[in-house]
Structure 1
Amino acid sequence: MTASPLLTAVLPIALGIIMLGLGLSLTLADFARVVKYPKPVVIGLACQLLLLPLVCFLIANGFGLESALAVGLMLLAASPGGTTANLFSHLAHGDVALNITLTAVNSLIAILTMPLLVNLSLSYFMASDQVIPLQFAKVMQVFAIVLLPVALGMMIRRWAPQFAGRMEKPMKLVAALFLAFTIVLALAKDWATVVEYAPLVGGAALLFNLLSLTLGYWVPRLLKIPKRQAIAIGMEIGIHNGTLAIALALSPSLLNNPTMAVPAAIYSLIMFFTAAGFGWWVSRGHKAEEATAAASGQVAGD
């Protein structure tokens, strides 16, 4: 896979719009909610920052992925969730406020964790002369890519809340369209290369996605987290900001390795179907619980 001029030009725009749309849905209260409801946030972040990289590392080794593909999969594991996770959580009756908080906090933490995890992955999977040191300049570039558009969106919401409220849904739609367009460009540019890698990388990406959804849901449930919050964590853990991973992989000033973008592009296609299936499964349970609660209320009323 090679980075075409069109893809290189579209990526910053797509990522900026996606992160700006996220910022329009955030307030400072979303960060303060960490103090008010620490347990689900800590559990969600622990799954995202500790369990996912470990699971991803085991999968990359188990599938024997080529070094650049293994690093690309680890890059994806380090990427935070995004507005798509919020949407799927809403459809599955999850705690969207928790999703927003996790996305906000994890996007902030990603400034440090993404360069660190990618650097460790490069050290392990690739030759030592290919390792990119964790330089302050690299961290600042990730900061600019991840947080500046979010900060701009938050300022717009603070200064023009009615405008931000009107724009929130259209921005989500535009962000989804840009995500789809970015994936199509990334896959179509070198279709032969994608086809060559697809069976192996697709299997690794599918397994990683299914395990992410499973861990994101069942670890909180085993730790006595309410179901709505467990659904939110599952969606947050299972749905990643693929555009961010693709942008970092293709950026000439960062990784500049188009092969590393392949896992994120394939994963971004898979996650829509698996997240929809997961949402349908947990929604069935939600409807059954609502029916039981309604029946119980009727009996009590009688």
Structure 2
Amino acid sequence: MQSTVFTAIFLPLVLASIMFGMGLSLQLKDFARLAKLPKPIFVGLFGQMLLLPALAFAIALAFNASAQIAIGMMLLAACPGGSTSNLLSHLAKANLALSISLTAITTVICVFTTPFLIAFSINYFSEGEPVEFSLLKTSLGLIVITLVPVALGMLTRHRFINIALRLEPIFRKLAIVFMLLLIVKISFDEREMLVEGFPDLYLFTIGLNLSATLLGMLLAKLFLLNQKDRITLGIEVGTQNATLAILIAVSFIQEPAYALIAGGYGLMMYLGAAGLVLYSRNKGVKE
């Protein structure tokens, strides 16, 4: 895919604005909470950073996924969290503080882990000559597009809290709208491949979402976390930053085929979370 104004300028700028909006919802105490409540946060990080990629890898191998789907799933697993999971945790009356803290910490960690996981996936699953992929370029790009805007958003909240509180819901809504528009564009541009990949594409996205959500719940139960934390980790492990995954595929790797699974997941990832939201709101969750 040739670099265009959309992939080289517009897409990174919009994602940077989304990350700025996410920064408006974060505070330094969200990072400091790691020292106060280490167990649920470490369990969540273990699920998101290690078990989720392992799950995507196992599904790709077990069901003999094509190279595009396998790499797309691994790319998606390398981009956990995002502000969407915070909204879903709020709707589910789960542990919002835990959700926000995981989002804050994984945003920093993924700048360093995501490029290596992508490089491994491309080298392992590629059929024929792997596409060119630069670890350094991707790491620097993620710093500019994620960490810097998040830091600016946090600084804005610290200095102008009233303005930040008014702007944050607006940015959150724009993030959802932009993700949907991005999915539509990718689907239209790659419609032939989308048709060829049906129904495998949707089966893999639904399977990954439901199994990841269940994985988060079981992991929390295994470590004897309370019910609110179980709901939270189910949402966190099952909800990925699909927009970031699409950006990496389209702008950094310049392989839109890898973005198809993220586009499908951007729609299907609400299935598992919706079940948890309905369950927690109908039954209630205990501390």
Deviation track 1:91-122 (CA, whole Å, cap 9, x = no partner) reads 11111111110011001000111011111111
Task: Name the TM-score, length of structure 2 as normaliser.
Answer: 0.93
Q: Which runs of 5+ in 2 are unaligned?
A: none
Displacement, 1:80?
2.0
* Bigger mean CA deviation after superposition, 71-80 or 60-69: 60-69
* Bigger mean CA deviation after superposition, 190-199 or 80-89: 190-199
Give the AA of the match of 1:268. Answer: G
Alignment partners' CA distance in 2, 1:63 and 1:5: 37
Contact preservation (8 Å) 2:95, 2:232? yes
Alignment partners' CA distance in 2, 1:255 and 1:7: 11
Alignment partners' CA distance in 2, 1:147 and 1:163: 21
Aligned to 1:145: 145
Alignment partners' CA distance in 1, 2:259 and 2:19: 19
Deviation track 1:200-220 (CA, whole Å, cap 9, x = no partner) reads 121111111001111111210
Displacement, 1:184?
1.5
Q: Secondary structure at the match of 1:256?
A: coil
Displacement, 1:134?
5.9
Q: Secondary structure at the match of 1:130?
A: coil
* Bigger mean CA deviation after superposition, 196-205 or 30-39: 196-205
Alignment partners' CA distance in 1, 2:71 and 2:35: 34
Aligned residues: 287
Q: How does 1:128-143 map to 2 (within 5 A)?
A: 129-130=129-130, 132=132, 135-143=135-143
Alignment partners' CA distance in 1, 2:208 and 2:121: 16
Displacement, 1:222?
2.4
The one of 254, 257, 260 equivalent to 1:256 is 254
Q: How does 1:93-132 map to 2 (within 5 A)?
A: 93-126=93-126, 129-130=129-130, 132=132
Alignment partners' CA distance in 2, 1:45 and 1:166: 30
Aligned to 1:227: 227
Give the AA of the match of 2:99. Answer: N
Task: Name the TM-score, length of structure 1 as normaliser.
Answer: 0.88
Give the AA of the match of 1:158. Answer: H
* Bigger mean CA deviation after superposition, 272-281 or 28-37: 272-281
Aligned to 1:65: 65
1:171 matched to 2:171? The reply is yes
Change (3 A) 1:52 1:150: same
Change (3 A) 1:132 1:230: farther
Give the AA of the match of 1:159. Answer: R
Alignment partners' CA distance in 2, 1:112 and 1:54: 18
Aligned to 2:273: 275
Contact preservation (8 Å) 1:67, 1:125? yes
Contact preservation (8 Å) 2:20, 2:150? yes
Contact preservation (8 Å) 1:79, 1:245? yes
Q: Secondary structure at the match of 2:198?
A: helix
Deviation track 1:43-68 (CA, whole Å, cap 9, x = no partner) reads 00000111111110011122222213
Give the AA of the match of 1:48. Answer: Q
Deviation track 1:240-263 (CA, whole Å, cap 9, x = no partner) reads 110100000011xx2111100010
Aligned to 1:286: 284
Displacement, 1:127?
5.3
Aligned to 1:198: 198
Larger of the two Rg values belongs to structure: 1
Contact preservation (8 Å) 2:116, 2:135? no
Alignment partners' CA distance in 2, 1:83 and 1:135: 25
Contact preservation (8 Å) 1:7, 1:186? no
Displacement, 1:266?
0.4
Q: How does 1:41-52 map to 2 (within 5 A)?
A: 41-52=41-52
Contact preservation (8 Å) 2:206, 2:268? yes
Alignment partners' CA distance in 1, 2:122 and 2:143: 20
Alignment partners' CA distance in 2, 1:211 and 1:128: 30
